[in-house]
Amino acid sequence: MCRGHNEAKRQERIPRRNPFLPYGDGAVWFVKRFWWIGILVGCVVGGVVWLLLWHGGHVYHGSGYAVTYPKDWKVIQFRLVDVAFVAPESADEQGFRSNINIVVVPRGDDISTTGKVFQNILTSLDVPENHFVLLGKQDLEINGRKCSSLQYTIFSQGQKLKGTIYIVDALKTYIFSYTTLEPLHPRFMAAFTAMVASLQNA
């Protein structure tokens, strides 16, 4: 099979209605609003639950870190985000693809503290065209690491989306974002939290 045909098929698998991609392929929704970061684009799980959820999963190795993700999810590289994980297609998602994105902010950066990142995310999301609603925010620990979390809803291309963001304070600041159609949000929430809990610094 020719290279061009393979490339075309690969592009077909990229979600074209990703909640973080209203600007088109190759951009994560909130990343383009976080121009001030440059690289920024997107409960505690016990050990037994983590093993049950992630048995048979794959390990993604980033720059200085690793996370475990479900084996049937696709890994997509974007220019302005460390990595995106995209759920398998589902008929009830109406062309939308649930996704988890990771962005890493180096320590020592002016915006690397959890509080500053958190505030900039809120500022970026809360614009009139999004019809942004903050559902809740809290500080907690996941697998012994301090993090801040927020849940929200926005509208994109006529669809109501629900998102959860975890900002993890480790050797660097890790931003995990999960977004899907609002009614389907619980479907991958446990998997999302398990991915955050699996974070290991290399």
pLDDT band at residue 172 under the 50/70/90 scheme:
confident
34 CB burial (10 A radius; 0-12, 13-18, 19+): buried
What are the φ/ψ torsions at residue 80 (nearest 5 degrees)? -110, 15
Rounded to whole angstroms, how far apart are CA atoms 26 and 5? 19
- Kindly report the pTM of this predicted structure: 0.72
Higher pLDDT, 149 or 10: 149
pLDDT of residue 110: 56
Q: What is the CATH number of the domain that holds 108?
A: 3.40.1000.10
Backbone conformation region of residue 25, classed left if phi is above 0, alpha if psi is from -120 to 50, else beta: beta
User: Looking at the predicted structure, is the pLDDT value of residue 106 above 70?
Assistant: yes
Strand segments, DSSP code E, in 143-199 are 145-156, 159-169, 173-181
Assess contact for 122 and 150: CB atoms under 8 A.
yes
User: Looking at the predicted structure, is the pLDDT value of residue 75 above 50?
Assistant: yes
pLDDT of residue 170: 81
Find the DSSP H helices in 86-164: 114-125
Query: Which two tokens mark 49?
Result: 């639950």
pLDDT band at residue 109 under the 50/70/90 scheme:
low
Query: Which two tokens mark 37?
Result: 């970061």
Query: Which two tokens mark 83?
Result: 């990595």
- Please count the structural domains in the chain: 1
Find the DSSP H helices in 100-198: 114-125, 189-197
Rounded to whole angstroms, how far apart are CA atoms 154 and 22? 12
Domain with 83 in it: 3-201
Per-residue pLDDT tens digits for 22-61: 333 333 444 434 433 332 333 222 222 333 334 457 999 9
pLDDT band at residue 108 under the 50/70/90 scheme:
low
